[in-house]
A and B are shown apart, each in its own frame.
Chain A
Amino acid sequence: MTQPEAHPRRAADTISAGTRSADSVPDGLAKNPEPVEDLDLVHRIALRDETALAELFERYSSLLLALSRRIVNETSDAEEILQEVFLQVWNQAERYDRGRSSVSTWLVLITRSRSIDRLRSRQVKDRTLTALKHEKNETHTSPQGMGSVLLEQRRQRLRREMQELPNEQRQVLDLAFFKGMTQSEIAGATGIPLGTVKTRTLLAMKKLRRALQAEIEELL
C-alpha cells in the first residue's frame, strides 16, 4: 500500500524549489519546497484535476486523519471527516488564499474545524477525554522515503518543543487546539483562573514561535 506522506519532500524538489538558504534551517532540515508544489496542486484542483487531488490526499491524509481522530476519538468518524475535507478542497480550491495561510495550514484548519464541529454535535467531549487516556495508536505506520525522513524530522522537532513546554502550558494549548475548548471552558474544567489560562496560552505560543521559527518561515 502506498504510504501517505503528510508533508513529503523529494531531494530533487529540495534543490529546485527552495527560495531560501538551507543553511539557516536547524537540525540539517532541508528547506521546504512544498509551498510551491502544494500551491500548484491547489491550482490544478481548482481546474478540476483529480490527479492533483489524489496527490494532495497522499501528502496530507495521514496528518489530517491523525488530527481528526485525536479530536473526535473515532476512526470511522475521522475518516468521514477526511472525506469531507477533501471534498471541500475540491469545491473551494479556487478560493484558497495564499496570503492567509499555507496550504498545509489551510488543510489543518479545515480538518480541525470540521472535527470540532463533529465533536460538539456528538457532545462526547467528556467521553473522548477519558478514552484518550487508554488509547493506543494501533494504526501508526512507519513512513518511508526522503519525504518521510524530513517529515519525521519535523514531527520530532514538534514533539520535542511541545514536550519542553511546561506541563501547564502544554495542557491549555492541547485543550484549546485539539479539544476545541474555549479558554473559559478550560478554566471551568481545570479550575484554573481564566486570566491564568490566557497567560499560559500566550506564553506557550510565544515559546513555540521562537522555537519553531524555521518551520514557520518555511510555510510563509
Chain B
Amino acid sequence: MSDEGRSRELNPEDLAIDQAMSQVMATGNEPRLVRGGDAADPAAVREYTELLGLLPYALEPEQPAAHVKQSILDRVSGAQPAPSRAPQPQTQRELDDMTLYGGTAEPVSGEPETIVDSGEMTLRRAPGELPAVKPIQPPAAAANSSSWGSMAIAAMLAVCLVGMGFLGALVWKQSQEIGQLHLQLAAQPASATSADITRVQAQANLLQSRLDMITNVAQSAYPMRRVANTGKKGPEGIVYVCGMHQRWYLNLRGLEPPAPGSEYRLWFMTDEGKVDGGILDVKDGSPAEMEAMSMPDNTNGFLVTLERQDGGTPESLTVLLGEKAINL
C-alpha cells in the first residue's frame, strides 16, 4: 500500500479490514462511504470484526465494585434509580421534552411508557431507556453567565426545539407508515405472491430500523436549517448520527425537485473541509432520505447544496445547513 492513502487500491482482504475497522472504530480521514458497490466480503468483514472484539482479552481483567452491579439492577427494576448527574426538569414542558427524548425524567415504575400511539401501533419505552442527554446548564448557573452566554444558550435551545419538533413528527410519521405496512401484510390477499410479501416486509423492516435509530440508537442529531430565510415555509430536515458505528440517517422534507441540469448534493463538514456525501434523490412531495454506515472522521456538520451542471452560475448554492448537534 502506498502513502497515497486515499487513492490506493485495496485488495479484497484489505477492503474487509478497512470496512470492519471503519464500522468499529475511526480509521483515518478517508472520506469513503460504505456503499453497495464498495462492499467487502461480508464473511471476512465479520471475522475481522470478531478479531477486534477479541483484543480486550489481552488485558488483565478487573473486577468492578459491588455497587456497580447493584446500581444497574436497581435501575432496570425501577426500585431505586441511580442518581443522575443531569439536572432535573424544572417545568412540565422540560419534563415532557426530556421524557420523550431521553432525558433524566425516567419513569420509576417498571411499566413501559407509551411514547407514540399512532392508533395502528404503539411504541413503548421501558424505564431507563434511551441515552441521557448532556446536561443543560441549570438556570442558577446560567444567571451568572454573560448575556452573550445566555443568548448562545437560548439559540441552542431554539435549535434543539426545532430539532425535537422534527424528531417528534418523524417518529410519528414513520411509526404510522410501519403500522400501515403491517396492516398490508396482515391483509395480503391469497393471490399475493411471496415476492409481494417479501417486498412489504422488507419495507417495514427498513422503516423499523430507521425508527429504532431515531428513537434509540442515534446519539446526536443535526437539525438542518435554511440558509436563506425567506420567512416562508421551506425545506427542513435532520441528520441522525449513531456514535458507535457512525451510522447516519438524513431525512429532509420540503425540498422542491431540482430543475433539469441541477441536483441536490449532501456534504459532510469536516475539519479539513467539506466532503462529498452524494446526490440527494428529491421527488416532489416525498421526503428525501439518505443513510450509510460511515462518515468522514471529524464530521461536525452537514450541508445540502444545489449544484448546477450546465455551467451556469452560481455553480453551487447552499440550501440547508446543519452545524449544531443535539445530543440525544
Chain A residues within CB distance 8 Å of chain B: 1, 3-4, 6-7, 48, 50, 53-54, 57-58, 61-67, 69-70, 75, 78-79, 82-84, 86-88, 90-92, 95, 100-102, 104-106, 108-110, 112-113, 116-117, 137, 139-141, 143, 151, 154-155, 158-159, 162, 173, 176-178, 180-184, 187, 193-199, 201-202, 205-206, 208-209, 212, 215-216, 219-220
A194 touches B53 (CB 8 A): no
Q: A79-B65, A79-B68 are in contact. Are A66 and B59 (CB under 8 A)?
A: yes
Q: A83-B82, A195-B2, A209-B47 are in contact. Are A54 and B73 (CB under 8 A)?
A: yes
Q: Which of B5, B62, B69, B216 has the most CB of A within 10 A?
A: B62
A66 touches B51 (CB 8 A): no
Residue of A nearest to B24 (CB): A109
Task: Tell me how far the C-beta of B31 lies from the nearest C-beta in chain A, rounded to whole angstroms.
Answer: 12
With a cutoff of 8 Å between Cβ atoms, the chain A residues found around residue B212 in the complex are: 95
Residue from A92, A178, A194 in contact with B5 in the complex, judged by beta carbons closer than 8 Å: A194
Residue of A nearest to B212 (CB): A95
Residue from A87, A95, A206 in contact with B76 in the complex, judged by beta carbons closer than 8 Å: A87
Residue from B46, B63, B65, B82 in contact with A101 in the complex, judged by beta carbons closer than 8 Å: B46
Q: B189 in the interface, Cβ–Cβ < 8 Å?
A: no
Q: Mark B224-250, 1 if CB is under 8 A from A, else 0.
A: 000000000000000000011100000
A92 touches B54 (CB 8 A): no
Q: Which of B3, B13, B48 has the most CB of A within 10 A?
A: B3
| A191 and B109 alpha carbons, distance in the complex (Å) | 54
Q: Mark B17-28, 1 if CB is under 8 A from A, else 0.
A: 100010011111
Task: Tell me how far the C-beta of A116 lies from the nearest C-beta in chain B, rounded to whole angstroms.
Answer: 8
Residue of A nearest to B14 (CB): A202
A53 touches B21 (CB 8 A): no
16 additional contacts, CB 8 Å, given A140-B62, A212-B54?
A3-B63, A54-B73, A61-B69, A62-B61, A83-B71, A84-B131, A101-B46, A105-B50, A106-B53, A151-B57, A184-B28, A194-B5, A201-B17, A202-B17, A209-B48, A219-B50
| A194 and B30 alpha carbons, distance in the complex (Å) | 11
Task: Tell me how far the C-beta of A201 lies from the nearest C-beta in chain B, rounded to whole angstroms.
Answer: 7
Interchain Cβ contacts under 8 Å between A and B, 6 examples = A57-B69, A66-B60, A155-B57, A177-B25, A198-B1, A216-B51
Q: A101-B50, A155-B58 are in contact. Are A206 and B72 (CB under 8 A)?
A: no
Q: A90-B76, A194-B3, A202-B1 are in contact. Are A220 and B244 (CB under 8 A)?
A: no
A90 touches B28 (CB 8 A): no
B217 touches A53 (CB 8 A): no
Residue from A1, A158, A182 in contact with B28 in the complex, judged by beta carbons closer than 8 Å: A182
A91 touches B59 (CB 8 A): no
Task: Tell me how far the C-beta of A26 lies from the nearest C-beta in chain B, rounded to whole angstroms.
Answer: 14
Q: B316 in the interface, Cβ–Cβ < 8 Å?
A: no
Binds A, one of B122-130, B148-156, B177-185, B317-325: B122-130
With a cutoff of 8 Å between Cβ atoms, the chain A residues found around residue B140 in the complex are: none
| A197 and B27 alpha carbons, distance in the complex (Å) | 10
Task: Tell me how far the C-beta of A133 lies from the nearest C-beta in chain B, rounded to whole angstroms.
Answer: 16
A158 touches B57 (CB 8 A): yes
A53 touches B73 (CB 8 A): yes
| A137 and B61 alpha carbons, distance in the complex (Å) | 9
B217 touches A65 (CB 8 A): no
Q: A54-B73, A113-B243 are in contact. Are A220 and B57 (CB under 8 A)?
A: no
Q: B263 in the interface, Cβ–Cβ < 8 Å?
A: no
A139 touches B21 (CB 8 A): no
- How many CB-defined contacts (below 8 Å) exist between A and B? 210
With a cutoff of 8 Å between Cβ atoms, the chain B residues found around residue A4 in the complex are: 61, 63-64
Residue from B8, B62, B126 in contact with A65 in the complex, judged by beta carbons closer than 8 Å: B62
Q: A195-B3, A216-B51 are in contact. Are A65 and B64 (CB under 8 A)?
A: yes
Q: Mark B115-146, 1 if CB is under 8 A from A, else 0.
A: 00000000000101111000000000000000
B48 touches A139 (CB 8 A): no
A143 touches B53 (CB 8 A): no
Task: Tell me how far the C-beta of B290 lies from the nearest C-beta in chain A, rounded to whole angstroms.
Answer: 21
With a cutoff of 8 Å between Cβ atoms, the chain B residues found around residue A140 in the complex are: 60-62
| A30 and B245 alpha carbons, distance in the complex (Å) | 32
Ranked 5 nearest A-B pairs via Cβ: A105-B53, A195-B3, A183-B28, A62-B61, A67-B56
With a cutoff of 8 Å between Cβ atoms, the chain A residues found around residue B4 in the complex are: 195
With a cutoff of 8 Å between Cβ atoms, the chain B residues found around residue A112 in the complex are: 24-25, 56
Q: Mark B181-206, 1 if CB is under 8 A from A, else 0.
A: 00000000000000000000000000
A220 touches B47 (CB 8 A): yes
| A83 and B64 alpha carbons, distance in the complex (Å) | 10
A66 touches B56 (CB 8 A): yes
Task: Tell me how far the C-beta of B32 lies from the nearest C-beta in chain A, rounded to whole angstroms.
Answer: 13
Q: B88 in the interface, Cβ–Cβ < 8 Å?
A: no
A50 touches B244 (CB 8 A): no
| A159 and B68 alpha carbons, distance in the complex (Å) | 28
Residue of B nearest to A91 (CB): B129
A184 touches B68 (CB 8 A): no
Residue of B nearest to A137 (CB): B60
